[in-house]
Structure 1
Amino acid sequence: MTTSTAPALDVRRADDRPATNIGWLDSHHSFSFGHHYDPDNTHHGVLMVNNDDIVDAGTGFDTHPHRDMEIVTWVLQGSLVHQDSIGHNGLIYPGLAQRMSAGTGILHSEKNDSWRLASTENPSQKHQDPVHFVQMWVVPDEAGITPGYEQLEIDDELLSGGLVPVASGMDAYKDHSAIRIKNKYAAMHVARLRSDTPAQDLPDAPFLHVFVARGEASLEGVGLLREGDAVRIKGGGGQTLSTTSAAEVIVWEMHATIGR
């Protein structure tokens, strides 16, 4: 006779996250980041960073370096301008997934350029809208790869309200419309849940990270999750996810962890 162990569900509330607020940037960190270092909170699975950022109009991150990291950016509201040292220059907005492979080294900047856009009703009036986005870092399978960049419009797939693969290195999702990341053990899913959306089953994986980016959702075994809340699941998925109103939820499915 065999016995099974129930998955471990570790709830992390939005208000308990360390934060960096420096005027133009209001950032909340799910894991250790910058001077917010906690040796017991450096990663979950292969996910090392889950930063929930709001950046004021006309400001942003000046050019800075990255190395040996898969960086996925998901915009919730507003728009973000990306420029990098390998020649990419683009606008990221809700429904467009972006991945940057830092590899042997890359320089990039991210700015909220909404202030450049004139209002159609009043061309002399400039927008002052902040940009709200989640940036996530995943370790790659191997160090020293060639830097790369990819972006993909995935808004249509999200209309179903179900979980949609948005970024993946897994063979299981190779036929889906998703940007590719250089980690064959990880995939990022997004659901724009509605009250009429059937309950969604989480993928079955040894490591899952569920983050409520907007709205409120309910997770089986946990209950109500509000905006900014997260759940780290270890030992198996399959839990149902639903909402009675509306929610945008990011789910990382991971079949490996750092150091193993």
Structure 2
Amino acid sequence: MLQAQLQVQRADDRYRGGDPPAGIDTRHAFSFSGHYDPDNTGFGLLVACNEERLAPGAGFAEHPHRDLEIVSWVLEGELTHEDSTGRTTTVRPGELQRLSAGSGVRHVERNAGGAPLRFLQMWLVPGVFGRRPEYEVVRDGTVGKGYALPGTDARLSVHRPRAGERVTLPPAPFCYLHAVAGRLTISGAESATLAPGDAARLRRGPEPLDPWGPTVTTVTAEENAEFLLWEMGGEPTYG
């Protein structure tokens, strides 16, 4: 019986992309654009987790999206967003940006400030296709308590445990953890230590799951730390 499977991806193992001469440095967690790995196309509903680093003045020219949930979390600097609805916003550290592309939207993302910009951009498969596009910026307090991505079986939370503190991961079939700062130790059926930029994928099953049984997994901060956690109920369903 499958209880839990833990897979760790080190920061240095991510595929490096972007356009360095243009000030764009991207580290991809999954197959993306010109990089294709048939064994690494997604996890749960998550199909992209890119760490984007933009030099001052650099950015992505206007481009289209359709039927994607695009979630951005700013780590440092300021992200300027413009889209085809005429909206322009600036997203800062500790703020979450959600763009539900739905039936189609075009947008621009750039670093309009004078300091380097670093942010995570995560793409998820929507629960319903062809919806009207939506956009929102969510403040840190909401994400800290857990942010349910509308129309999907996915929830994002940010955790900032102090040294020695422990966080119990939820008994979801799919958990994706991205270490932002500090060193973390994952303990359960399998164990691993994460440094900033590392990610862990924890898959559990079959249901029903006993949250206090052999699949329980905890994350302990070896020093003051921060990590993002996606918990997802399943994989994409098409058709």
What's the TM-score once normalised by structure 2's chain length?
0.88
2:82 aligned partner: 83
Q: For 1:246, what is the secondary structure of its paired residue?
A: coil
How large is the Cα RMSD of the aligned pairs? 1.8
**1:250 Cα deviation from its structure 2 partner:** 1.0
CA distance in 2, matches of 1:248, 1:192: 4
1:121 aligned partner: none
1:194 aligned partner: 162
Partner residue of 2:7 out of 10, 26, 36: 10
1:146 aligned partner: 132
Give the letter for the 2:29 counterpart. S
CA distance in 1, matches of 2:37, 2:186: 27
Task: List structure 1 runs of 4+ shifted beyond 4 angstroms.
Answer: 155-158
CA distance in 1, matches of 2:11, 2:25: 13
Q: Give the alignment of 1:172-191 within 5 angstroms.
A: 181-183=150-152, 185-191=153-159
Alignment check: 8 A CA contact 2:111 2:117 kept: yes
Q: 1:238 to 1:91 in 2, by over 3 A?
A: farther
Alignment check: 8 A CA contact 1:96 1:155 kept: no
Q: For 2:160, what is the secondary structure of its paired residue?
A: strand
1:47 aligned partner: 46
CA distance in 2, matches of 1:211, 1:199: 16
**1:209 Cα deviation from its structure 2 partner:** 0.8
Q: How many residues align?
A: 225
Give the letter for the 1:134 counterpart. L
Give the letter for the 1:252 counterpart. W
**1:218 Cα deviation from its structure 2 partner:** 1.3
Identity percentage over the alignment?
38
**1:168 Cα deviation from its structure 2 partner:** 1.1
Query: Cα deviation per residue 1:148-199 (whole Å; 9 max; x = unaligned)?
Result: 10112124874xxxxx31x314xxxxxxxxxxx321x111111122215x31
CA distance in 2, matches of 1:193, 1:113: 32
Alignment check: 8 A CA contact 1:82 1:111 kept: yes
1:19 aligned partner: 16
CA distance in 2, matches of 1:235, 1:113: 42
Do residues 238 (structure 1) and 239 (structure 2) align? no
Alignment check: 8 A CA contact 2:143 2:157 kept: no
Q: 1:21 to 1:68 in 2, by over 3 A?
A: closer
2:183 aligned partner: 216
Alignment check: 8 A CA contact 2:96 2:140 kept: yes
CA distance in 2, matches of 1:157, 1:258: 23
Q: For 1:212, what is the secondary structure of its paired residue?
A: strand
**1:87 Cα deviation from its structure 2 partner:** 2.6
2:148 aligned partner: 168
Unmatched tracts of structure 1, length 5 or more: 116-128, 159-163, 170-180
What's the TM-score once normalised by structure 1's chain length?
0.81
Query: Cα deviation per residue 1:205-259 (whole Å; 9 max; x = unaligned)?
Result: 1111111123321111323101111111111663111212222211110101024
